[in-house]
């Protein structure tokens, strides 16, 4: 197995994701908005079942709402507010 080289691998896949608009949030005003925020990640030391349970439930709710026709904003971390707002206008 070859060693992971981020300087080579990351630009390749980021360009592919940009071309495919993989992470582009599209705004559809005909759909109702839904916002899911379970908690912000924080450096609390060791991961424990509370983290897994909490993030899993937020992900399940966000995916369910998206599958049932909602525009879902599901941020994970402080930087995503800037990114989501820039991409989808929230």
State how far the Cα of 46 lies from the Cα of 38, in Å rounded to an integer: 19
Question: Is 64 a residue whose pLDDT tops 90?
Answer: yes
Q: How far apart are CA 47 and CA 5, in angstroms?
A: 27
Enter the pTM of the model.
Answer: 0.58
Domain count, the chain: 1
Q: Is residue 57 part of a domain?
A: yes
Q: How much of the chain, in percent, has pLDDT values that exceed 70?
A: 69
Count Cβ atoms within 10 A of the Cβ of residue 39 and give its class: 0-12 exposed, 13-18 middle, 19 or more buried.
exposed
* In-domain check, residue 78: yes
In a domain, 15, yes or no: no
- Range 1-9 average pLDDT: 87
Give the total residue count for the chain.
Answer: 90
Within a domain: residue 66? Answer: yes
21's CB contacts (< 8 A; 6+ apart) are none
Which pLDDT tens digit goes with each residue over 9-48? 999 999 999 999 988 877 889 999 999 887 766 666 666 6
The domain containing residue 71 runs over which residues?
27-88
- Is residue 69 within 8 A of residue 31, CB to CB? The reply is yes
């Amino acid at each position: 197995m070859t060693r992971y080289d981020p300087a080579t691998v990351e630009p390749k896949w980021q360009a592919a994701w940009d071309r495919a608009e993989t992470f582009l949030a599209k705004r559809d005003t005909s759909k109702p908005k839904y916002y899911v925020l379970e908690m912000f990640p924080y450096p609390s030391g060791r991961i424990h079942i509370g983290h897994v349970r909490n993030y899993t439930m937020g992900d399940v709710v966000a995916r369910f709402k998206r599958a049932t026709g909602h525009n879902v904003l599901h941020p994970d971390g402080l930087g995503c507010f800037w990114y989501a707002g820039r991409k989808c206008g929230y």
